[in-house]
Amino acid sequence: MVQLDAASDNTDSRVHGAAEALTRAPSLRRAAARVRALVAVALVVTSHGVSGYTEERALAYFARELAECSAWYALVAEAPGLDEVTRIRFRAVASSLVSTAADIATEPWALTQLNLAATNIRREMRGSWKNYAVVDKEYGQRCREVATDPVARQRYWQDRYK
């Protein structure tokens, strides 16, 4: 696994700015608890609109996205200079997202997707927090949407594979 250079002590304002924006959002504070409940309700309510293979495909892509975003939140929790409360919040969201992915698929599959995504994200950062902006651009906004409104993201995947 690629290790990030935590000793670089890079206090890049983009890392802190993203962290600040995430912690200020009141919905994120409750996201860890809400993600699982919302996805469970969405699975029941919307499963009638998609059938067979397309339903499985949409759920697989959604579960993969949940695992990828779990990896991103776990990475952000490791950012240098974050306060402990923020780290705990990010870790809780990461745990909730991968748990939901495991509920949709299987636990081994979700953990494999999480590990693949974490490896990929770290590789994209080239082992340094100086390159955080690269992964924030790719994952940041999408993962914030996944954490704060998972029902909309699930609907996105279902609509895409109707």
Among candidate residues 132, 138, 119, 141, the one with its CA nearest the CA of residue 10:
132
d(CA 82, CA 77): 8
Mean pLDDT score of the chain: 79
79 domain residue, yes or no? yes
User: Which of helix, strand or coil describes residue 25?
Assistant: coil
139 domain residue, yes or no? yes
* Domain residue limits at 48: 34-160
Write down the pLDDT at residue 143: 96
d(CA 116, CA 74): 13
19 domain residue, yes or no? no
**pLDDT of 148 strictly over 70:** yes
Among candidate residues 31, 26, 22, 53, the one with its CA nearest the CA of residue 136:
22
For 29-83, what is each residue's pLDDT tens digit? Answer: 555 555 655 565 555 545 544 456 788 889 999 999 999 999 999 999 999 999 9
H helix intervals, the chain: 13-24, 26-29, 31-46, 52-77, 84-104, 107-124, 132-135, 141-148, 150-160
Ramachandran angles phi, psi of 122, nearest 5°: -65, -35
7 domain residue, yes or no? no
d(CA 110, CA 96): 12
Write down the pLDDT at residue 162: 79
What are the beta bridge partners of residue 128?
5
Domain count, the chain: 1
Q: Could you give the angle at which helices 84-104 and 52-77 cross, rounded to 10 degrees?
A: 160
- pLDDT classification of 8: cutoffs 50, 70, 90: very low
16 domain residue, yes or no? no
147 domain residue, yes or no? yes
Among candidate residues 27, 85, 28, 35, the one with its CA nearest the CA of residue 65:
35
21 domain residue, yes or no? no
24 domain residue, yes or no? no
* Distant-in-sequence, close-in-space partners of 74: CB < 8 Å, separation ≥ 6: 90, 91, 94, 114, 118
